[in-house]
Structure 1
């Protein structure tokens, strides 16, 4: 059995971004940038009004309350600004500013005066002083041409899509998604919706892993139920390799029981074992190997929470490296209550992040941590990992907190 950090190092040794693909912006959500994005235009692309109102050419003097101005034109978003010698224009939010204009007075701060002469230009009176530069969005105030706006390795979420679209980007280069196959062992496993025979259990981990693989930025290519049959297991690996997978995940059959055939089956294929057994809780029996064909194999324990921990803390660092991302940032919060663990083990517990009565965010380890219990895990919002060098972690000690996926930070819940 090796330590957790050594296991991650062995899994990720030499792992690099797999390949680069170019995709349309509409297909970029949930992908990871393969290169820096540099703006080719300014944002905003021109000086424009920040709100509906009146644009004034105040000649860099404060336009005083009570002053009156003749409106010569109305400028809407998408219009070409007039080139005239006027001093006041009606203007809409986002409309380009006339070259002479230096301030925008919002509609709430003007009074429109009645016109007593037919054909007379409408006039407005200011209800408050207006300082030069007010309510104007300047060209390049947000983004300048040539500015790097997103770094390689950035996860493209909705906010990044907004920025890319706003700067006129319609295609981006992204990392290829790692291709994953899942082999579920165990003759007792029955798919959801099917009647349970005596001694049977519903397959909870396959749907969980399929969703987790997608949430981690990878692509599930194949899901196979191989029972406890070695021949089916080997055939499923062959099928996965024919589809160009980068990673084969298996669940169950990796410990030391009579039906735990996965280690011997991989050895029979000539796979290079990286480790079998990691000092972590839960999920110690986890196994990793490299097939002669080049694909990686991670054998996860069968208990649902052991599967979840092994995937989150061993598989996801590998997927992250294949996506060309830097190691996951470390996030720490104080522990809400003292917690007992086993010294020498990398303990990963599910829990929540909550604010105390004074608004301070804390990490709260859930009471029920048994690896077979699904309900408490469904009520969690974060993973919490405890220091390995002591058996009791006191309240207030800083502990690491992690999101359910490496691509999203942990979420917190109200007190």
Structure 2
């Protein structure tokens, strides 16, 4: 399924356009991508049902400050970075990404049990850390499996299909949380039980149905000859040659100004004055938009260019910040923010993975994906923690205006950095 290095580099150096006008091969979807999407859907129902109530649970039910929530949300964004590169390397080294992914999904499932007993800052922080480490373990090998099963010329579209299924779960989880809170006021423990049940289902589907041996895996003797991991591998010649370093730098810079959704929803809640039980529906709205746009934007990225789409997604995030900071509120502003957030995720999540896949040698694919995910996770962890402090010091609206201005400047810098990398992301 992989391209040779001559296909990835030699034939691309003459191309100044990022993508051709149209793909020559008809789109075919691998069943592996469908099953992995179902696993992600079940897992996202589990994780997002908890994420949808976490801001209110921390600041309302437990009575903690926005700084405490910023730290917890920062952990939620970035704790996975601890293991992403190592998990990607293990996947590349062993040629068995499914086993690595099972370990990650399993750890997150075990962490869900802790929510049934946690009642303070440190307990919540520890459980979120365990859950996110599980996410860090599973993400790179899972995306490597998707990349291997997908047609190279339809890579972003294939990731879009997976993200569509993933976003179905991400929309369903908050909806379930909303229904629970409507029927059971302060029924947070019931939400935690529902979360655990869906996590168990996701792990079962992965273990029992998803194929365990990747396509094109070499024999054990060949695997034994693979070089041992060194940090210097992250600076191999093709990184500089093909623009991956520019991509990682840009993703990190933009990630530093990507605050957590929970903060945006808290601002909308404070200004809209809607009832607490409606809060999870904000997550539903964002993920429904993600669901609707994941495949069309992935297809657009394959045709128009993945880097322009990636940057345009951050423009949507900037517009969301501006709209959230406006002096007027109400239903229109809320719906506009949800629309823009959903477009942002549809234009960046799978598209970033597709760009990395086109800039990386086959034998380093999961490691490179893990590296990119680590950069994004660490930068977003810093963004969430920093914004919690800004909120406390300046107030929510002023803090949002500051971040919006910095993001506008970062987009200009990112566009300049990625301008030299576009020629290396041409389709095969």
Common fold by TM > 0.5: no
Larger RCO of the pair (alpha carbons < 8 Å, separation 6+): 2
TM-score, with structure 2 as normaliser: 0.22
- The structure in which a higher percent of residues are strand is 1
Instruction: Tell me the TM-score normalized by structure 1.
Output: 0.22
Task: Give 1 or 2: higher helix fraction.
Answer: 2
